[in-house]
Amino acid sequence: MRTVREQALAAKQAKAKLQQATTMQKNELLLEMADRLIAAEAYLMEANEKDLDNGRTNGMSTSLLDRLSLNKTRIEAMAEGLRQIADLPDPIGTVLSEIERPNGLRIEQLRVPIGVIGMIYEARPNVTVDAAGLSLKTGNAVVLRGGTAALNTNVALVGVLHGALKACNLPTDALQYVEDPDRKSVDELLTANGLVDVVIPRGGRSLIQHVVKHATVPAIETGEGICHTFLDETADPAMARNIVLNAKVQRPSVCNSLETLLIHRDFATREWPELAKYLQEAGVELRGDARAASIAHGVTPAVDEDWSTEYLDLILSVAIVDSLDEAMEHIRNYGTLHSECIVTENDEHAIRFLNEVDAAAVYHNASTRFTDGFEFGFGAEIGISTQKLHARGPMGLPALTTVQYRIHGNGQVRK
């Protein structure tokens, strides 16, 4: 087994050949990768079942098992993501600006690959494919280090993708997977200065904090999602119910799912008992403040910790508020700058919410579950950035580029 530094060096050496590939060659690679994933369905599900068996034996939670699980639909979705990436314009070489100086120098600013991307993530096999596809389309080599719980699945996926690279006569070393399960391998990747150009973590709070604390390589911080939905006094009841149920129930184990529901007191008086019943029938455990618990049956009293917890499960904290300002104050105190939503028929309230709430994605009358590269039309995403430098929100192709200035002259020298 090669060391992480050896793998990073191999990736750095491979990027030169990868960056010579034309857009057509890269798109052919992505389509080949998609076809091979579909063809390898049985092989991939067999590898995944080994990880699921290990997870069950080790007491992995239902929500984490869901994240880990592969099936026909999810494999097809990964393949479709690759096809969508192939259909998207190649950002590499795009001229962002061009100026001509009085001395005749012509200066272009254009998009170029970052170089070598390090990706650290937990038990989400789709991230393996998304990260590979986005990185290779943008001419970046990538070193992947997935969660140990998904080791068999990820190794199988990378093997299939390597087959596509070989078939397209592109360097397999441009796609590296760190198989060493020791936590030290994470730190080796975080400190591979000179070999890795940027590290992107994707996972829970402990992983993100570990990367922020220990990385010497530049890191793009992706954060946990304590996402809120606020139902104001004018919210349409049917719309509110559909949005809340979708945001909480459709896939509770992901970072863009709803964790805290804020309800204006007037709407709560009229609609909260029935909405609570719908949520409970869908299997959601409700933890509410005193007013939420007094208005609806079966609501467990919330504690302070609930407002700052990313459950990633069928658990929902609920607070009744007196105004839009109080709802936004709650979001300021407990939000993680990820995705926030207001359901309202009042345009003035909607505009205030969109303008004043600080988050990567802010919604009016739509489920936060749409904060996703696939749903945004990016084909896939390498993560959802909650920071404010370089990239923010779902990171698609442009987020994996940097800029270069190219200066054209005819003999100019500086006086």
Residue 69's CATH number: 3.40.605.10
> pLDDT (tens digit, 9 = 90+) per residue, 351-382?
999 999 999 999 999 999 999 888 888 877 88
- Looking at the fold, whether 113 and 9 belong to one and the same domain comes out as yes
Q: For residues 115 and 141, is the Cβ–Cβ distance under 8 A?
A: yes
Higher-pLDDT residue of 9 and 375 is: 9
Helix axis angle, 41-57 relative to 72-87, nearest 10°?
Answer: 120
Q: Which single residue is written with the structure tokens 């314009």?
A: 89
Distance CA(129)–CA(292), nearest Å, equals: 42
- Looking at the fold, whether 311 and 174 belong to one and the same domain comes out as no
Distance CA(74)–CA(77), nearest Å, equals: 5
Q: Is residue 377 part of a domain?
A: no
- Looking at the fold, whether 198 and 235 belong to one and the same domain comes out as no
Beta bridge partners of 261: 229, 318
Q: Angle 137-139-145 (CA atoms, 0-180°, nearest 5)? A: 85
- Looking at the fold, whether 80 and 204 belong to one and the same domain comes out as yes
- Looking at the fold, whether 185 and 323 belong to one and the same domain comes out as no
- Structural domain span for residue 343: 227-370
Q: For residues 11 and 116, is the Cβ–Cβ distance under 8 A?
A: yes
Predicted confidence band of residue 74 (pLDDT cuts 50, 70, 90):
very high
Q: Which single residue is written with the structure tokens 């936004």?
A: 328
| Nearest to 5, CA basis, from 172, 176, 150, 165 | 176
Beta bridge partners of 361: 339
- Looking at the fold, whether 23 and 147 belong to one and the same domain comes out as yes
Distance CA(318)–CA(306), nearest Å, equals: 9
Query: From the centroid of its chain, how far is CA 218?
Result: 18
Q: Is residue 380 part of a domain?
A: no
Q: Is residue 384 part of a domain?
A: no
Distance CA(175)–CA(296), nearest Å, equals: 53
Q: Is residue 383 part of a domain?
A: no
Structural domain count, the chain: 2
- Looking at the fold, whether 186 and 238 belong to one and the same domain comes out as no
- Burial label, 232 (beta-carbon count in 10 A; 0-12, 13-18, 19+): buried
- Looking at the fold, whether 231 and 211 belong to one and the same domain comes out as no
Question: Among the listed ranges 271-285, 292-306, 378-392, which one has the minimum average pLDDT value?
Answer: 378-392
| Nearest to 282, CA basis, from 235, 250, 237, 238 | 250
pLDDT number for residue 209: 86
Q: In this structure, how many other beta carbons lie within 10 angstroms of the beta carbon of residue 24?
A: 9
**Residue 329, SS3 per DSSP:** helix
pLDDT number for residue 205: 79
Distance CA(384)–CA(382), nearest Å, equals: 7
- Looking at the fold, whether 215 and 235 belong to one and the same domain comes out as no
Q: What is the 3-state secondary structure (H, E, C) of 105-166?
A: CEEEEEEEECCEEEEEECCCHHHHHHHHHHHHHCCCEEEEECCHHHHHHHHHHHHHHHHHHH
Mean pLDDT of the chain: 94
Q: Is residue 388 part of a domain?
A: no
Query: From the centroid of its chain, how far is CA 409?
Result: 42
- Burial label, 104 (beta-carbon count in 10 A; 0-12, 13-18, 19+): exposed
Q: Hey, which bits of 167-249 come out as E strands?
A: 175-177, 198-202, 227-231
195 DSSP 8-state letter: T
Distance CA(364)–CA(354), nearest Å, equals: 8
Where would I find the H helices in 282-318? 290-295
Structural tokens at position 367? 């489920």
Residue 223 confidence (pLDDT) above 80: no
Phi, psi of 230 (to 5 degrees): -110, 125
Mean pLDDT for 199-211 is: 87
> pLDDT (tens digit, 9 = 90+) per residue, 55-67?
999 999 887 898 8
Q: Which single residue is written with the structure tokens 């530094």?
A: 5
> pLDDT (tens digit, 9 = 90+) per residue, 311-351?
989 999 999 999 999 999 999 999 999 999 999 999 999 99
Mean pLDDT for 189-217 is: 92
Q: Is residue 414 part of a domain?
A: no
Predicted confidence band of residue 389 (pLDDT cuts 50, 70, 90):
confident
Predicted confidence band of residue 404 (pLDDT cuts 50, 70, 90):
very high
> pLDDT (tens digit, 9 = 90+) per residue, 162-183?
999 999 999 999 999 999 989 8
C-alpha distances in Å from residue 172, one per residue of 29, 136, 176: 12, 11, 8
- Looking at the fold, whether 241 and 202 belong to one and the same domain comes out as no
Structural tokens at position 130? 């998304």
- Looking at the fold, whether 147 and 122 belong to one and the same domain comes out as yes
Q: Is residue 386 part of a domain?
A: no
Q: Is residue 182 part of a domain?
A: yes
Which CATH number covers residue 283?
A: 3.40.309.10
pLDDT number for residue 390: 78
pLDDT number for residue 212: 86
Length of the chain: 415
Mean pLDDT for 138-153 is: 96
- Looking at the fold, whether 82 and 191 belong to one and the same domain comes out as yes
Distance CA(45)–CA(192), nearest Å, equals: 33
The secondary structure element, H or E, covering residue 260 is strand 258-264
